Structure 1
Amino acid sequence: MDIRVYRPGELSTADRAAWTALQSKAHLNGSPELANPFLSPEFTLAVGRCRRGVRIAVAREDGEPAAFFPFQRSTTGVGRAVGLGVSDCQGLVHRPGFTWDAQDLLRECGLAVWEFDHLAEGQRPFETGASGSFPSPVMDVDQGYETYLRQLRARSPKFTRTTLAKERRLGRDAGEVRYVHDERDPAALRTLMDWKSAQYRRTGRSDRFAHAWINHLALQLFHTRSESFAGILSVLYADGKPVAAHFGLRTERVLACWFPAYDPAFAKYSPGLIMHLRMAEAAAADGIAYLDLGRGQKEYKDSLKTRELSVSEGWVTRRHPVAVGHRARRAPVRALRNMVLSRPEFFEPADRILKRMGKIRSIR
C-alpha cells in the first residue's frame, strides 16, 4: 500500500471522482455512514480555503485510490479532524475490505496525534483511541415522508398533532405559510446567521459566527453545488417573511442538519419543528435516505428521530512528546464538559448560569 499526502489544491480530478464514487456506493458496500457530507471532498476543500494545514492522505492499492483521509496538521505535528468544532462526521473514506494501521497512517501523515470529536461508526483502527461515544439522532425517510409521518404519529401522537396544529395556526395568524427547500438568496443565509448568532449570545454559548473563517466556510458551501454534493438553505416563510431557516449539507443519500434557527418573535408556533417536518418531506422527495440531526441531546431531536447513530470522540497517538502534551491539555477539559452535559444535576444549573450571562451580554 502506497500513502501520499496532498494539499487540497494538489488533489487530481480523478482522485476527487474516486472519492465521490466511494461515497455514492457506501450504502451498497455496508458502510452508509461514509456517505455523510462532512466526509466529502467538497467539505475538505472548502475548509482548506478557510484554514491552514488542511491535508489529504490518499492510500493506493495496485495504483488505484483505496482510501482518503482528510486532516488538519499544525507545524508541531498535532493533527485534528478537518473542521474540528463544526464538522459532525469524521474519519477515513475507504473501499470495501480496506484495512489500515492507525500508527502507520499517522507516521505517513507526519502526525504525532490525531484528534476527533465526531468519529463515524466502523472506524475500528481509530476507535481504540476513543474516550467516549455519543448518540447522533437521525430521521429515516427512505420509505417516503408519509411512512415517516405515520411512524411519528404512532410514536409521538401528541407531539405530531400539536406541531401540525401550530403550522395551521401560524398560517391563520401570520399569513400564508410557504416552504422553500433550496433557497438561493444569499440574504436569507445572512438572516439565518444573524438569528443563530443572537441565539448563541442569548443562551450564553460561544458564537460560532463571530469567527470569520466559519462565516467564510458557510458562504463557500452555500455556493458549492454538484449532483453529489450541495449546501442546502431551507427557509420557512409566513406571509412572505422568513420565520425559520436551516443551512445544511447533502450528498446523494444524506442530509446533514447543521445550523437551524428561527425568529424568536414566532417562537409560540414552534417554527423550527414545522421546518424540520417540511425538510423531511422535501428530502424524501429528493431521494434522501435520512436526515442526520447531529450529536447532542435535544428535546426536538428526541421527538423527531427514528433511530440513532453513534459517533465517538478522542484521539489516536504515536509515542511522541507532542502527543503526550496535547492529550494532557485536552483530556481534562473534555472530561469535565462531558460530565456536565451527561448529568442533569450539573447541566441544568450550568445552563441557567449561561442563559443569565447571555441576557446580560444581550443587554449590553
Structure 2
Amino acid sequence: MEVSIHRPAELDEALRRAWHQAMDESPDYANPFLAPQFAAGIGRHRDGAHVAVLHSEEDGEPVGFLPYERASFGVGRAIGLGLSDCQALVHRPGVTWDTRRLLRACSLATFEFDHLVEEQKPFARYVTGTFASPVIDVKVGEGDYADWLRGAYPGLARTTLKKERRIVRDLGELRFVFDERDPAALRTLMRWKSAQYRRTGRMDRFSRPWIVDLVDHLARVRDEHFTGVLSVLYAGDRPIAAHFGPRSRTVLAAWFTAYDPGLRYYSPGLVMHLRMTEAAGREGIRLIDMGRGDKEYKDWLKTRELRVAEGFATRPHPVAAAHRMWRRPVRGLRNTVLAHPRLREPADRLLKTVGSLRTSGRTGRD
C-alpha cells in the first residue's frame, strides 16, 4: 500500500471528502476527534502535525488517514495526545496495513497513543492496556424535558428536578442554550475550568495560549461533519454551567465542562449535562462520548462503555527502545494509582492540597 504524507492544512477537497467518507462508513470513526477539521486545528499550533494518507494499490484512491505529530528523532504520537479522547487510523471497510511499514513511511521510530479505538487490529500487538470509555446512547424523547428525564434517567429524575426548582427559586428561571455563540460565555467556561484545574492540583490547560487559541478556533468551525458546540445553562441572565466540545453528524465529544464553583451545592454541572443530553437528541446526535476516566457523574449518566487502548507502536530503532523505557513506567504508575481507590483517593487529596496552596499563594500575590 502506498503512503503519502501531508500537512493537515494542505489536504485538498478530494482528500477531505474521502476522509469524511471513511468516517461515515463506520460508527467506529464517527467521533469528531477523528475528523480532518480537528487535525487541521492542531496543525495550526503544532509544527509536527502530519497526516499519512494510505492509497489503494489497485487504483491509487485514498482509503485511510492517520493524523499524527512527529517530534525530534522520529518520536511520534497521536495528534492532540493529551487533548484528544479518540484516536485511530480512519479507513474504509476492509482496509488493513503493516504497522512497521507505516511507521517507516511516516519517518517514525515510535507512535504513542492513549485513546485508540478498539477496532484498530494492526496496532493490537503494541497495546499495553485497555480502558473503559463511558458513552451515552442518546434517547430521542417526546414531550417536554421533565418527561424525557423521567424516561431516560428515572433514578436521577426526582433529585434533579428538585434541584432545578431550587435554582429557579434562588437564582432565577433556568434557560439552556445548546449551541451558544457568545464568545464571552466561552471565556467564562475557560475561567471556571482554569480555576478547577488549580483547585484540584491538575495542570491548567488554559494557561497554555495555544490551547486557548485552539478552542477559540474550533468554536468558530461550522461544517457538516464538524462543529464546535458551546452549551450553557443560565439562571436568569447568569451563566451557571457550561460545556464545550466538538460534534460530528452523530457524535458529541464531551470535552471541557465546568460550573460556577460558588453554586456547587445546586449541582449545576449535572443539571447542565442532562439538559445537554436531551437537547443533543433533538439535534440529531446519537452518541455522547464522555471520554476515558473515572468520574461519579459519568457512572450516573453512561448507558454503556467503549474500550480504548494505550501503547507504543514501534519499529526496530534505538530511539523507539529508549522512548518506550522512558514513557511506559510513567504511564504504568499513573494507571496503577487510578485503578485502585485506596491509592487514587489519597493521591487526589494530595493534589487538592497542592491546588489549595497554589491557589492561596496566587491570591496572596494578586
The two structures share one fold, judged by TM-score above 0.5: yes
Q: Structure 1: which amino acid aligns with 2:233?
A: L
Equivalence for 1:13: 13
TM-score by length of 1: 0.95
Give me the whole-angstrom Cα distance separating, in 1, the residues matched to 2:271 and 2:193.
17
Report how far residue 181 of structure 1 moved.
0.4
Q: Unaligned 5+ residue runs, structure 1?
A: 27-31
Query: Please, which moves more after superposition, 81-90 or 59-68?
Result: 59-68
SS in 1 for 2:153: helix
Contact 1:181-1:234 within 8 A present in 2 as well: yes
Contact 1:141-1:148 within 8 A present in 2 as well: no
Pick aligned residue for 1:260 from 249, 257, 260: 257
Equivalence for 2:364: none
Equivalence for 1:150: 151
SS in 2 for 1:85: coil
Contact 2:127-2:310 within 8 A present in 1 as well: yes
Give me the whole-angstrom Cα distance separating, in 1, the residues matched to 2:52 and 2:261.
44
Query: Please, which moves more after superposition, 5-14 or 232-241?
Result: 5-14
SS in 1 for 2:254: strand
Deviations, residues 301-335 of structure 1 (Å, cap 9, x unaligned): 00001001111111100010010010011011001
Pick aligned residue for 1:205 from 198, 202, 207: 202
Contact 2:35-2:225 within 8 A present in 1 as well: no
TM-score by length of 2: 0.95
Pick aligned residue for 1:247 from 239, 244, 247: 244
Matches within 5 A, 1:120-269: 120-144=117-141, 149-153=150-154, 157=155, 159-269=156-266
Query: Please, which moves more after superposition, 252-261 or 137-146?
Result: 137-146
SS in 2 for 1:20: helix
Contact 1:5-1:58 within 8 A present in 2 as well: yes
Q: Unaligned 5+ residue runs, structure 2?
A: 362-366
Contact 2:76-2:108 within 8 A present in 1 as well: yes
Deviations, residues 256-296 of structure 1 (Å, cap 9, x unaligned): 00000000111111011111111111110011111011100
SS in 1 for 2:242: strand
Q: Structure 2: which amino acid aligns with 1:39?
A: L
Give me the whole-angstrom Cα distance separating, in 1, the residues matched to 2:121 and 2:100.
13
Give me the whole-angstrom Cα distance separating, in 2, the residues matched to 1:236 and 1:34.
30
SS in 2 for 1:91: coil
Identity across matched positions, percent = 57
Equivalence for 2:318: 321
Give me the whole-angstrom Cα distance separating, in 2, the residues matched to 1:144 and 1:122.
31
Given the superposition, is the C-alpha separation of residues 10 and 285 from structure 1 closer, same or farther in structure 2, using an over 3 Å criterion? same
Equivalence for 1:99: 96
Equivalence for 2:106: 109
Report how far residue 33 of structure 1 moved.
2.1
Report how far residue 142 of structure 1 moved.
4.9
Give me the whole-angstrom Cα distance separating, in 2, the residues matched to 1:223 and 1:105.
34
Given the superposition, is the C-alpha separation of residues 25 and 134 from structure 1 closer, same or farther in structure 2, using an over 3 Å criterion? same
SS in 2 for 1:216: helix
Give me the whole-angstrom Cα distance separating, in 2, the residues matched to 1:228 and 1:37.
8
